[in-house]
């Protein structure tokens, strides 16, 4: 089963690498993560991971051309590297490891689904939020900011996040390997905690995330030490270690913990 999982994960990662959705290191990390999740979890876990992977890669691709002028604001391009893959899927990987140790428990599944709902919500909000007609506002001060600014939110982006979380949640409820996780309650908790994770991501982007400035383009950016234009970027605000990957990891982690807590409590 583990070898078959490895072959499937390798095949999908190679296709994604050829389609420019993953870098070399990203394809390697995706193969490892996929092998772990397919091999230890089985098909319901694989379905959820692939649903996240394909919809978010497709949206990133669709968005890349349109917002080519904006993409320099984001730390990395459309090709996800190993750190980005682990930032998005690392918590899901930890949950499948928890499933290995507690095979009868349904909470690792709920944490898995909630973390994927959150990173999916965040990706959908980022990719579809830039389509908004009105400029984004900061979550903390409600001040209007430039499109593509870290932590800026729009109504369209928030609705996209809700849809992204609900899609993962819907599949999670239908394919759940545990009967108690196949309820409308589970659907609500996974959707809401997925949305909450994406909101935490935006909040961190607006407050503690490291933001830099490119003097050449006269723009704020998440990129460091160099901007897409090649010029060195200078620190503006935020915690230097709190980059976009760690923010994404915290997005998935907070959703998983909140989802498990709500699920066990009710
Ligand atoms: Zn620049």
- Residue list, CB under 5 A from ion ligand 1: 214, 216-217, 227, 229, 231
**Contact 260/102 with Cβ under 8 angstroms?**
no
Question: Is residue 144 in a domain?
Answer: yes
Say what the pTM is.
0.91
Q: Is the pLDDT of residue 170 over 70?
A: yes
Where helices occur in 67-135 by DSSP H, the ranges are 82-101, 107-129
Kindly report, residue by residue over 69-118, the tens digit of the pLDDT.
Answer: 555 555 555 688 999 999 999 999 999 999 999 999 999 999 999 999 99
* Range(s) of the domain holding residue 222: 42-265
For the chain, the domain total comes to 1
pLDDT recorded at residue 2? 86
Question: Is residue 90 in a domain?
Answer: yes
Question: Is residue 195 in a domain?
Answer: yes
Question: Is residue 163 in a domain?
Answer: yes
Q: How far is the CA of 21 from the centre of ligand 1 (A)?
A: 23
Question: Is residue 72 in a domain?
Answer: yes
pLDDT recorded at residue 65? 62
Mean pLDDT to the nearest integer, 201-216? 93
pLDDT recorded at residue 60? 80
Mean pLDDT to the nearest integer, 189-209? 95
pLDDT category at 208 given cuts 50, 70, 90 is: very high
Q: Is the pLDDT of residue 141 over 60?
A: yes
pLDDT recorded at residue 48? 96
**For the chain, first and last CA: distance in Å?**
35
Question: Is residue 32 in a domain?
Answer: no
pLDDT recorded at residue 149? 81
Using CA atoms, how far residue 206 sits from 149, 214, 226, 247, in Å, is: 9, 18, 21, 11
Half-sphere exposure in the Cβ direction for 226 (13 Å, CA): 4
pLDDT recorded at residue 132? 85
- Closest listed residue to residue 192, CA positions, set 164, 224, 150, 230: 164
Q: How far is the CA of 215 from the centre of ligand 1 (A)?
A: 7
pLDDT recorded at residue 228? 78
Q: Residues of the chain with pLDDT > 70: what percent?
A: 94
Average pLDDT, the chain: 91
Q: Is the pLDDT of residue 238 over 90?
A: yes
Give the residues across from 6 on adjacent strands.
Answer: none
pLDDT recorded at residue 68? 56
Q: Is the pLDDT of residue 64 over 70?
A: no
Q: Is the pLDDT of residue 34 over 90?
A: yes
Pairing assessment for the beta strands 152-153 and 234-237 based on DSSP bridges: unpaired
Q: How far is the CA of 156 from the centre of ligand 1 (A)?
A: 28
Question: Is residue 17 in a domain?
Answer: no
3-state secondary structure of 137: strand
Q: How far is the CA of 4 from the centre of ligand 1 (A)?
A: 45
In the block, residue with structure tokens 């928890």? 98
Question: Is residue 29 in a domain?
Answer: no
- Closest listed residue to residue 48, CA positions, set 124, 127, 108, 109: 109
């Amino acid at each position: 089963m583990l070898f078959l999982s490895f072959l499937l994960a390798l095949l999908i990662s190679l296709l994604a690498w050829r389609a420019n959705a993953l870098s070399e290191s990203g394809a390697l990390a995706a193969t490892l993560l996929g092998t772990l999740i397919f091999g230890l979890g089985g098909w319901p876990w694989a379905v959820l991971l692939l649903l996240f992977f394909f919809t978010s890669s497709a949206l990133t691709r669709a968005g890349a051309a349109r917002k080519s002028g904006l993409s320099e604001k984001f730390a990395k391009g459309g090709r996800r590297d190993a750190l980005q893959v682990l930032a998005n899927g690392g918590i899901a990987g930890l949950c499948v490891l928890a499933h290995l140790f507690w095979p009868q428990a349904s909470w690792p599944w709920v944490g898995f689904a909630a973390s994927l709902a959150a990173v999916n919500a965040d990706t959908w909000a980022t990719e579809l939020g830039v389509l908004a007609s009105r400029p984004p506002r900061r979550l903390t001060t409600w001040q209007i900011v430039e499109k593509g600014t870290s932590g800026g939110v729009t109504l369209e982006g928030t609705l996209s996040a809700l849809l992204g979380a609900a899609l993962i949640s819907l599949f999670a409820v239908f394919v759940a390997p545990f009967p108690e996780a196949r309820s409308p309650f589970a659907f609500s908790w996974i959707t809401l905690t997925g949305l909450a994770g994406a909101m935490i991501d935006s909040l961190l982007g607006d407050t503690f995330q490291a933001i830099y400035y490119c003097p050449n383009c006269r723009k704020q950016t998440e990129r460091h030490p160099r901007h897409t234009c090649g010029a060195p970027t200078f620190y503006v605000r935020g915690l230097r270690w709190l980059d976009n990957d760690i923010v994404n990891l915290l997005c998935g982690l907070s959703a998983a913990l909140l989802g498990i807590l709500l699920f066990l409590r009710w």
